[in-house]
């Protein structure tokens, strides 16, 4: 069976659809491949030979560069063969030099990156909702002080994501954090946080939390307050003082009263493990950690990145991936707190979520515009049979400018699509 057709099954598991994709999309993709490679010069630009067709020379296509590929190599002292960048030294070497009779099987082997899916253990914290236990993780902070403090306390890095401060109130849920009182597992070393919603209240739940600091007043005997009702009662009695804090944390809930994230049944990971069936491999409330699947992709400049998936909207994609449904995230679709992530719907076969090459993110940890909240776009090749390996935003822009790819926002279920994909270091 043609390998492209195998991804019909994957499509039923993966939420990253572009607007208007028909149910027979992959059949149409095969038909497009049979039409042959785009001829040089079809874009109305000078051609310097077939070896330049669809090849990038720096930030432009070689057909745009005076002298073509040879001219660029002479000027820059570079070659146009591209390999995935990785500081982990685990990337499969890629040879994209043009050759005849290249099959889909050949292309698939080219892009099967090593360690495309790996387990990553993340520390959990214990908080409360309406008197019940909540176990959650903390992955990102809009504030550097909170990011550093929590990173040290949990011995696991919290990424700084300043853009989260721009999230509208409708995309946040309120969380109470104690800054004195009874010692515990809270962010500040005291009792655990108190949440005002869980995924069971899907219409109001958000992993992005705004914060209210709770301070026990002098002369008052501290005690555990495990619900918002008890907190507000303590305010009335003059026992505590509440202070709103302009900090947003990404605190996805893993276990909550009467519910938890889906644990994947097949825990054997390979480079071709599909996204469907859950993103969690194990939840250990005794050792206080959760094991996620970390997926490999590329940052904007080609660096290797890994990310996990915790929640998404709309409900269909969330259910397909086995993550929490979070409708409130749709409020980020036109907000700067969300950043663009590009996935591929056709082209070179590989380890991306749809069975094609891995995606490219518009930012990565350490960048000023990093955010864990991702607005998904789909990249499609006009002629999939002539697809090339794209690793950077510059690559993508060059091919889009040349008219060789189209890019469209994903709208599964004809709805706004946001995915909470914290970028993490799985090797820490």
Average model confidence (pLDDT) for the chain?
A: 82
Q: Give tens-digit pLDDT for 171-184.
A: 999 999 999 999 99
State residue 201's pLDDT score: 95
State residue 77's pLDDT score: 56
Q: Is the pTM of this model over 0.85?
A: no
The rounded distance, in Å, linking the Cα atoms of 165 and 259 is 29
State residue 353's pLDDT score: 83
CB 160 within 8 A of CB 168: no
Smallest CA-to-CA distance from 37 within 18, 22, 24, 51 is with 51
Q: Give tens-digit pLDDT for 19-73.
A: 333 333 222 333 333 333 332 222 223 333 444 555 666 556 666 667 776 776 6
Q: Which residue has the tokens 């969300």?
A: 338
Smallest CA-to-CA distance from 370 within 409, 417, 394, 337 is with 337
Q: Give tens-digit pLDDT for 342-383.
A: 999 999 988 888 889 999 999 999 999 999 999 999 999 999
The rounded distance, in Å, linking the Cα atoms of 277 and 351 is 17
Q: How confident is the model at residue 255 (pLDDT cuts 50, 70, 90)?
A: very high
């Amino acid at each position: 069976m043609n390998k492209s057709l195998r991804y019909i099954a994957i499509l039923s598991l993966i939420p990253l659809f572009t607007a208007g994709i028909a149910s027979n999309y992959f059949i149409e993709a095969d038909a497009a491949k049979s039409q042959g490679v785009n001829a040089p010069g079809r874009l109305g630009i000078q051609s310097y030979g077939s070896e330049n067709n669809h090849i990038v020379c720096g930030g432009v296509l070689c057909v745009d560069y005076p002298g073509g590929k040879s001219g660029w190599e002479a000027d820059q002292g570079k070659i146009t063969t591209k390999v995935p960048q990785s500081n982990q030294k685990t990337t499969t070497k890629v040879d994209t030099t043009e050759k005849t009779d290249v099959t889909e099987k050949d292309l698939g082997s080219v892009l099967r990156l090593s360690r495309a899916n790996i387990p990553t253990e993340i520390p959990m914290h214990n908080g409360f909702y309406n008197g019940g236990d909540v176990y959650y993780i903390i992955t990102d902070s809009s504030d550097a002080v909170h990011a550093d403090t929590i990173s040290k306390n949990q011995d696991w890095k919290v990424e700084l994501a300043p853009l989260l401060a721009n999230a509208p109130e409708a995309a946040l849920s309120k969380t109470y954090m104690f800054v004195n009182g009874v010692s515990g597992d809270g962010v500040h070393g005291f009792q655990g946080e108190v949440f005002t919603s869980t995924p069971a209240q899907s219409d109001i739940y958000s992993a992005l939390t705004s914060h209210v600091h709770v301070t026990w007043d002098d002369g008052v005997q501290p005690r555990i307050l495990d619900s918002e009702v008890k907190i507000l009662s303590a305010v009335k009695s003059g026992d505590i003082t509440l202070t709103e804090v302009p900090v947003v944390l990404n605190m996805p809930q893993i276990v909550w009263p009467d519910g938890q994230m889906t644990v994947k049944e097949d825990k054997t990971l390979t480079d071709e493990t599909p996204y469907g069936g859950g993103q969690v491999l194990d939840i250990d409330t005794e050792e206080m950690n959760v094991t996620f699947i970390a997926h490999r992709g590329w940052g904007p400049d080609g660096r290797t990145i890994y990310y996990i998936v915790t929640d998404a909207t709309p409900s269909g994609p969330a259910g397909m991936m086995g993550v929490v449904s979070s409708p409130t995230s749709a409020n980020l679709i036109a907000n700067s707190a969300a950043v663009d992530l590009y996935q591929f719907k056709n082209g070179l076969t590989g380890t991306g979520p749809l069975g094609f090459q891995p995606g490219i993110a518009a930012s990565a940890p350490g960048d000023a515009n990093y955010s864990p909240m991702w607005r998904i776009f789909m990249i499609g090749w006009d002629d999939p049979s002539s697809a090339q390996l794209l690793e950077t935003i510059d690559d993508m822009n060059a091919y889009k400018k040349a008219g060789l790819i189209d890019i469209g926002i994903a709208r599964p279920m004809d709805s706004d699509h946001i995915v909470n994909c914290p970028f993490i270091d799985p090797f820490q």
